[in-house]
Amino acid sequence: MKELKEAPRSMLKFEGSPSDVGAQIWERMCNPAVRAVTGRPERERAQLYAGILMAAMGSMAADFGHERATDIVRDLTEAFAGMAGELEGGLTQ
Is 90 a domain residue? no
Taking the C-alpha atoms of residue 33 and residue 45, their distance in angstroms, rounded to an integer, is 10
7 in a structural domain:
no
* Band (87; pLDDT cuts 50, 70, 90): confident
pTM for the full predicted model: 0.76
Q: Tell me: pLDDT of 19 over 90.
A: yes
The packing angle between helices 42-64 and 66-81, to 10°, is: 130
Sign of CA dihedral 5, 52, 81, 71: negative
Give a yes or no: residue 21 inside a domain: yes
Q: What domain range includes position 46?
A: 17-81
Asked whether 12 and 70 are in contact (CB, 8 A), the reply is no
Task: Assess if residue 42 is contained within a domain.
Answer: yes
What is the domain count for the chain? 1
Q: Is 86 contained in some domain? A: no
Q: Residue 31 is which amino acid?
A: N
Mean confidence (pLDDT) of the chain: 89
Residue 22 domain-assigned?
yes
pLDDT digits (tens, 9 = 90+) for 24-54: 999 999 999 999 999 999 999 999 999 999 9
In a domain, 64, yes or no: yes
